Amino acid sequence: MASSPQSLSVACIGLGKMGSGIAANVQKSGCRVTVYNRTAEKAQPLVVAGATLARTPREAAATAEFVVTNLMDDASVLGIVEGPDGVLAGFVLGEDPAVAMSMNVSMLIINELSEWLPFGTHSFRNQNISIQPI
C-alpha cells in the first residue's frame, strides 16, 4: 500500500448522493481517484476536478489500491461485480486492492460475495454500519 494520500490510488464506483460525496472527499484528500458510474454524466463534476473516468468497473478496479463501491441493490451489485467487465475481473491475484462496499442487498448477494472473495488475499466480511447525525 502507498504511504501517503498523494500516492494512494482509489477507485470510486457508484456515484449517487453518497458515492459522489465520498469520491469528492477522497479526491480532496489528495488521492488519485478513478471513478465509474453506469450513468457516466454523474462522474463529470469529479472528472472536471481531476478524477479519471473509467469505462468499466474492471478498468476502475485494475488501477486502484483501494476500491469503494456505493451500490443500491442486488442487480446493481451483480452488474458491477461480476462478468468480464466487472470489478472482480480487474483484480490481479496477489496485488488485489482493498475493497469497501456500501450496499443494501439481500442475504443471497452477501453469500455470493463471500464465495467470490475468499481467493488469494481476499476475505469478505458483512458489517452493519449505523451513522447518527451530529
Supply φ then ψ for residue 124, to 5 degrees. -125, 130
Q: Find the DSSP H helices in the chain.
A: 17-28, 44-48, 57-62, 74-81, 107-116
Q: Is 124 within a domain?
A: no
Residues 84-130 pLDDT 10s: 999 888 876 556 667 777 777 777 777 777 776 655 444 555 555 54
The maximal CA–CA distance of the chain, rounded, in angstroms, is 42
Residue 126 belongs to some domain of the structure: no
Type of residue numbered 124: F
Residue numbers of the domain that contains 74: 5-116
Classify residue 67: in a domain, yes or no.
yes
User: Has residue 48 been placed in a domain?
Assistant: yes
Percent of the chain with pLDDT over 70: 76
Is position 85 within any domain? yes
- Cβ–Cβ < 8 Å for 38, 85: no
Q: What is the CATH number of the domain that holds 111?
A: 3.40.50.720
Domain count across the chain? 1
